[in-house]
Copies of this chain bind each other. A is one copy, B any other.
Amino acid sequence: MSIFYGLSAFLITPTDEGGRVDTHALATLLRRLEEAGVDSIGLLGSTGTYAYLTRVERRRAIEAAAGCVGGRVPLVVGVGALRTDDAQDLARDAQAAGADGLLLAPVSYTPLTDEEVFQHFAAVAAAVDLPLCIYNNPGTTHFSFSDDLLARLAGVYGIAAVKNPAPAPSEAPAAVEALRMLLPAGCAVGYSGDWHAAQAVLAGGVAWYSVIGGLLPRPSLALMRAAQAGDAAEVRRLNTTFEPLWDLFKQHGSLRVVYAAANLLGLTDAQPPRPILPLGAAERGRLARALSALEA
C-alpha cells in the first residue's frame, strides 16, 4: 500500500516567536494522530508553515517526528522552496532525517512557466530515493497545474502521487475521472481543501490531505472511512457536523483557525508566524462552539 493513500493528517508545527520548533508540543500533536490511527502524517505542509521556517528548523522538526512516530506512521514531508537547489537540499535533509515520502509545491515569486515547474520537479525527484507527491495548491503558490502537466510529471521516476485541490462536488466525478485517465495507474490521486475532499474521494480520489485531520483525527477518520466505503449518505451526514468549521476555514483561512483550535484544546500555546495574526476573540467563541458540536 502506497503512503499516498487514505487520510493524511497535516499538522501545525508549533514554534516560538522566532521560528524555533517546539519539539515537545510537536510530539504531543503527533501522538494524538498515531493513537487515532491516521494513514499518514503530513509534516511541514502549508499548515505546517514550512515556507516560514529555516532549513535547520525544518530538519529539527523531521527528526523529532521520526523519533516520535517513525516506522509506525508514514511521514510525508513538505520540501518546497523558491530555489531549485534549496528544494533539493531540503529533500536530501528530509530523506536523511527519516521521511517516508515528499510533498513538493511549486513555490513562486516570479511567476513560473510550465517548463520551469517541470524541470524543478524533475531535479528534486532526482536528488533523492523517496516517492514524491505533486502539491498543487494555487491558493498559496499561484501556480496552477494543468492535467497535461501533471501527466507529464507523473512519467518522471520518483513522482508517485498528486495532491489536487478538491473540485466542487458537482464537478468531482468528471474531474477525477478525466485526470485518472491521463495518469499512469500507479499514480495516486488525492485531494485537499477539507470541505470538498470527502466528495472527491467518493468520486474516486484515493487520499484526503487534511488540515482538520491533523487536529481532530477521529471525526476526520470517520468522514474519510465513509467516503472510502462509498457511503454518500454518511458522508453528507458527517459533513454537516463539520459545516460550522468549514465556514470558519473559508472565511479566515484554515491555518489561522487550526492554530486557534489547538490553543482552545490545550494542545499548544503556539501562534502562527507573523505577519499572520491569531484569530480574534469573537471568532474564537464561534470556533469553540464549532468544536463542541463536532465532539458531541
Contact = CB atoms under 8 A, between A and B. Distances in A.
B113 A277 contact: yes
Interface string A113-152: 1011101100100000000000000011010000000000
Contacts of A83: 19, 52, 273-275
B52 A119 contact: no
B85 A120 contact: no
Given A51-B109, A109-B51, A120 B274 contact: yes
A40 interface: no
Protomer copies: 2
Interface in A103-117: 106-107, 109-113, 115-117
Interface residues of A, number: 35
Interface in A237-290: 253, 255, 272-277
A85 B275 CA distance: 9
A56 to B, nearest CB: 13
A82 interface: yes
Contacts of A186: none
A84 interface: yes
Contacts of A253: 110-111
A24 to B, nearest CB: 22
A46 B116 contact: no
Contacts of A275: 83-84, 106, 112, 116-117, 119-120
Given A142-B142, A277-B116, A46 B110 contact: yes
Contacts of A84: 274-275
Contacts of A109: 46, 51-52, 107, 140
Closest 8 CB pairs of A and B: A120-B275, A51-B109, A84-B274, A116-B275, A84-B275, A109-B140, A142-B142, A116-B277
